Amino acid sequence: MKKILITGAAGFLGSHLCDRFIKEGYHVVAMDNFITGDEKNIEHLQGLDNFEFITHDVTNFIELQGRLDYILHFASPASPIDYLKIPIQTLKVGALGTHNLLGLAKAKNARMLIASTSEVYGDPLVHPQTENYYGNVNTIGPRGVYDEAKRFQESITMAYHRFHGLETRIVRIFNTYGPRMRLNDGRVIPAFIGQALRGEDLTVFGDGSQTRSFCFVDDQVEGIYRLLLSDYTNPINIGNPHEITIKQFAEEIIKLTGTAQKIIYRDLPQDDPLQRQPDITLAKTILNWEPKTSRELGMKITYNYFKTLPKEALYKSKHKNFKEHIKK
187 binding ligand UDP? (CB under 6 A): yes
Smallest separation (angstroms) from ligand NAD to the CB of 266: 21
Smallest separation (angstroms) from ligand UDP to the CB of 315: 16
**Cβ contact 30:43 at 8 Å:** no
What angle is formed at CA 180 by the lines to CA 177 and CA 237, rounded to 5 degrees? 30
Q: How far apart are CA 148 and CA 32, in angstroms?
A: 22
175 binding ligand UDP? (CB under 6 A): yes
Which positions from 197 through 226 interact with ligand UDP, judged by CB under 6 A? 203-205, 210, 212
State the binding partner of 35 from ligand NAD, ligand UDP, none, CB within 5 to 8 A by kind: ligand NAD
**Cβ contact 324:318 at 8 Å:** no
State the binding partner of 280 from ligand NAD, ligand UDP, none, CB within 5 to 8 A by kind: none
- Pick the catalytic residue from 26, 83, 121, 146: 146
Which positions from 60 through 79 interact with ligand UDP, judged by CB under 6 A? 79
- Decide whether 111 or 276 has the Cβ nearer to ligand UDP: 276
Residues pairing with 5 in the sheet: 29, 71
Contact flags string 224-253 toward ligand UDP, x per CB under 6 A: ----------------------x-------
Q: Is 303 among the residues known to form the active site?
A: no
- What is the DSSP track for 35-75? SS--GGGTTTTTT-TTEEEEE--TTS-----S---EEEE--
One-letter amino acid of 20: R
Work out whether the CA dihedral 58, 61, 64, 70 comes out positive or negative: positive
Detail the DSSP E strand segments found in 74-217.
Answer: 111-117, 168-173, 176-177, 202-205, 211-213, 215-216
State the binding partner of 203 from ligand UDP, ligand NAD, none, CB within 5 to 8 A by kind: ligand UDP
- Decide whether 97 or 144 has the Cβ nearer to ligand NAD: 97
Strand order in the sheet with 70-73: 51-55, 27-32, 3-7, 70-73, 111-117, 168-173, 236-238
Residues pairing with 264 in the sheet: 203
State the binding partner of 178 from ligand UDP, ligand NAD, none, CB within 5 to 8 A by kind: none
Smallest separation (angstroms) from ligand NAD to the CB of 57: 4
- Decide whether 161 or 291 has the Cβ nearer to ligand UDP: 291
Chain length of the chain: 328
Q: Which residues bind ligand NAD (CB under 6 A)?
A: 7-8, 10-14, 32-37, 57-59, 74-78, 93, 97, 115, 117, 173, 175-176
State the binding partner of 191 from ligand UDP, ligand NAD, none, CB within 5 to 8 A by kind: ligand UDP
- Decide whether 115 or 137 has the Cβ nearer to ligand NAD: 115
**Cβ contact 326:214 at 8 Å:** no
Residue in 4, 188, 197, 282 binding ligand UDP, rule: CB under 6 A: 188
Residue 15 neighbours by CB distance under 10 Å? 27
- Rounded-to-5 percentages of helix, strand, coil across the chain: 40, 20, 40
Smallest separation (angstroms) from ligand NAD to the CB of 262: 27
265 binding ligand UDP? (CB under 6 A): no
**Residues identified as active-site:** 146
The contact set with ligand UDP (CB under 6 A) reads 79-80, 175, 186-188, 191, 203-205, 210, 212, 246, 269, 272
